[in-house]
Chain A
Amino acid sequence: MDITLIMTIKRLTTFFPLIFLSLVFSACGSAVDAASWPGFTVDEENGTVYVAFNQAIYALQLENGAQRWRFPAENQANFTTFAPPELTGDDQLLISGYDQTLYSLNPANGNSNWTFAGATNRYIGSPSAAGGTIYAPNSDNRLYALNPNGELLWTFAAKQPLWSQPILVAETLVISSMDHNVYGVDPASGEKIWTLDTGGAIVSSPTLGEDEVVFVGTLKQQVLAINSASGRSEWSYDAPGWVWGSPTYIDGQVLAADLEGTVFALDAATGRELWSVDTEGAITGAPLVYNNHIYVLNESGQVISFTLDGTIQWTKNVEAALYGSPIAAGELILIGVGTSDALVLALNENGDTVWTFAPASQ
């Protein structure tokens, strides 16, 4: 071998550790830059949809997708958010930050009201606001209860991160946890009322049915019906795959989907399967029921419309993996795409695109 070549290779290998580090931190990264997918909240009264994605919250006009405002006005290094913002009864927009901060914004203009920085990890799930109290679940395993001014009232500690939005059912705050448990908590004091071990992590929020029964999906491939007053499991259904998204309750039926791409309908009273349909990609969101149709998104980039008996009506292909839940807004169905070409896609009931929103690059 040529001497000069050998000596060059020798010198280059001296830089080997740097080359290694560059490879490690760049080449193997995910194709998706963001850590999660867009989260939506619709305020139909004001004709606005709030979209949380990556480094900003966008307030868009429902009519045409035009941007009203964004927060922060310019990208900030530490600010990241994905959970659907929560609109409170006293006109606050609550934002879950990956920067360990809960933000309260004015929904009209995006100005900051207050921040709560008492947590020690990311806010992955949305906060909820009920009965004049804000309940904010955090990845530091704690649920933070705040008054409307963002002052801490109490905390509740689980054993693993809390990624899902709690729901208030009568006198019980129900929260599902990654520690495999569903907890019933006193909303006034944060005292634990009951615990139900489901055997698998729970990523998404419980869904309220009738008679104070809530439904949860677990990574143990189950959907469970739980009495929120006692914490007793009423029934469980074994799904084909891990159930990531929240179930949806409609007229005595529970609709849910799993990471195998199966959509299924269960009898809410017994858990008996009514029908199931296989799609071609993992489903992480809750099925949307709107105008007597069911809509789901899957990782293969499909928006699928079903009739209520599980017959596929139409499928629209989008050139991106679709995660999360579709949201109904007026006459529109909003889809979170999360690519640079389209952050939000607004479809009509037939699957035709009405408008697309892509944020201006910064």
Chain B
Amino acid sequence: MLEFIIVPFTNVLVFIYSLLGQNFGLAIIVFTLLVRLVTYPFNASQMKSAKAMQELQSNPKWKQIQEKYKGRENREKLAQEQMKLYQELGISPFGACLPTLIQLPLIIAMYWAVTRALAATPLQLLGFARGLSLPNAAELIPLNSHFLWMDLEQPERLYLDFLPIGIPVLAIIVLVTSYLQTKMMTPANPSDQGAQVGRAMNLYMPILMAYISYIYSAGLALYFVTTNVLSIAQYYITRRPTAAAKTVVPAKPKQS
């Protein structure tokens, strides 16, 4: 379905791998960083909207509307009033989701480029090899999947002499970073239905992501960690007060 993106992504990933001394772990990190740079405007717009929505939850007007139009019978009216407030504050209710939808094919392609390049079975290798158009592709295959203590093709575990079992370090990092990332993007007001669903997502999304990292290849987990860390970093870098926040904080009276 997305071959027209996956194939070029795979080639770029392998090209980066060849430039970085055939280190696939570094190639995943650098490639993820590059894709984040290319999609920066979309990410920034998404985070700005998410932040504005968070700040809106503490806006007195928002709270008034919620209070005034309680109950099922007022849902339609509540939505109308909320829309009015959105327009008044210049917030788009789709601001957080549209950029993500635009990025979706890129995110899926990146995931598949990483998975495909780690070709661990004959049919996977056949599919991977066929899509490569680099002149030195035959010399690069198979990719060196060792990075730090990990075999990126295998589920990651760190084995220590004094422990009888391996520690899934990447899965734990994915759990923590996914939690932080989903928490950042979720509104805080308990009365808002969307926020309640969002809080449920805060709990099970990180668990799901960590479970995937626990059972699938370390290369995939490394991609999750990198993209989560970059999202969190971008969120904090782009943190600025928005129109919604400005209306919340009343001006301090000047002291005489």
Contact = CB atoms under 8 A, between A and B. Distances in A.
Nearest to B103: A20
A178 B97 CA distance: 44
A203 B138 contact: no
Contact of A11 (B100, B123, B194): B194
Given A10-B194, A14-B197, A4 B79 contact: yes
B2 interface: yes
Contacts of A180: 139
A200 B142 CA distance: 9
A203 B96 CA distance: 47
B12 interface: no
A297 to B, nearest CB: 14
A11 B201 CA distance: 12
B44 interface: no
Given A3-B80, A28-B112, A13 B97 contact: yes
A195 interface: no
B138 A242 contact: yes
Contact of B121 (A18, A35, A160): A35
A178 B142 contact: yes
Interface stretch (B35-43, B65-73, B125-133, B247-255): B125-133
B30 interface: no
B122 A82 contact: yes
B201 A220 contact: no
Contact of B104 (A10, A20, A139, A220): A20
A35 B129 contact: no
A53 to B, nearest CB: 13
A16 B208 contact: no
A30 B6 CA distance: 13
A35 B122 contact: yes
Nearest to B198: A14
Given A34-B123, A35-B122, A24 B108 contact: yes
How many chain A residues sit at the interface, stated as a range, is 35 or more
Contact of A6 (B93, B96, B130, B201): B93
Contact of B1 (A27, A200, A244, A282): A27
Interface string B90-134: 000110110010001001100110000000111111110110000
Interface string B182-209: 1000000000011001100100010010
Interface in A1-45: 3-4, 6-7, 9-11, 13-18, 20-21, 23-24, 27-28, 30, 32, 34-37
Contacts of B198: 14
Contacts, number: 116
Contacts of B123: 30, 32, 34-37, 323
B34 interface: no
A129 interface: no
B161 interface: no
A122 interface: yes
Contact of A203 (B2, B125, B151): B125
A15 B141 contact: no
Interface in B15-31: none
A98 B129 CA distance: 21
Given A219-B129, A219-B141, A18 B205 contact: yes
A122 B104 contact: no
Contact of A3 (B6, B76, B112, B154): B76
Interface in B136-157: 138-139, 141-142, 144, 151, 153-154
B83 interface: yes
Contacts of B142: 160-161, 178, 201
Nearest to A284: B126
Interface in A160-194: 160-161, 163, 178, 180
B129 A37 contact: no
A21 B208 contact: yes
A203 B122 contact: yes
A199 B197 contact: no
B130 A9 contact: no
A120 to B, nearest CB: 8
A220 B138 CA distance: 5
A218 to B, nearest CB: 8
Given A16-B97, A27-B1, A200-B138, A6 B208 contact: no
A259 interface: yes
A14 B194 contact: yes
B120 A14 contact: no
Contacts of A111: none
10 contacts: A3-B76, A9-B97, A10-B94, A11-B194, A16-B97, A30-B123, A36-B121, A122-B120, A160-B144, A282-B130
Given A18-B205, A259-B129, 6 more contacts: A15-B197, A17-B201, A27-B1, A28-B1, A122-B120, A220-B139
**8 nearest A-B residue pairs (beta carbon):** A35-B121, A13-B97, A3-B79, A36-B122, A220-B138, A200-B138, A14-B197, A219-B138
